[in-house]
Amino acid sequence: MDDSKKILIVDDEHDIRDGVSYWLRAAGFAPLFADDGSSGIESAKRNHPDVILLDVQMPEKDGLDTLRDLRLDPSTSDIPVIMLSASLSDEYRALDAGARFFVQKPYEGYRIISAIHAVLMPVLV
């Protein structure tokens, strides 16, 4: 699995990280984990994942602040981010802040996998 795409899951809920990692492994991806925004940024800098799955609602540093920091750092600005939230009002703010995709919670595993495939697909011009 050396050429598996690395997907960083940044979510403060352990059960969410476990569930998403199951779907990712089943689809052939290599999951990485962070339980808050600050550790998610550090992991992104260290591991340069192919995609970041980022929860909006987290204590201390929420997902929108984390996304803004990722976009401002040249070492992480190009990593596609998929935002996850139970609130549809977060969708516009997430996309406006630079997220490539938004998935509403609760979600089915195939929605996460489809979103990942969509952001990884090269744009044809």
In a domain, 90, yes or no: yes
pTM of the model: 0.91
In a domain, 18, yes or no: yes
In a domain, 84, yes or no: yes
Look-up: residue for tokens 């204590």? 59
What is the total count of domains within the chain?
Answer: 1
In a domain, 1, yes or no: no
39-43: Cβ within 8 A, 24+ apart:
39/10, 40/8, 40/10, 40/66, 41/66, 41/69, 41/70, 41/73, 41/76, 43/8, 43/10
Report the alpha-carbon distance of residue 80 to residue 76 in Å, rounded.
Answer: 9
The CATH code of the domain that includes 21 is 3.40.50.2300
Question: What pLDDT is attached to residue 106?
Answer: 79
What does the pLDDT look like over 53-83, one tens digit per residue? 999 998 888 999 999 999 999 999 999 999 9
What does the pLDDT look like over 3-27, one tens digit per residue? 689 999 999 999 989 999 999 999 9
What is the domain range of residue 29? 6-119
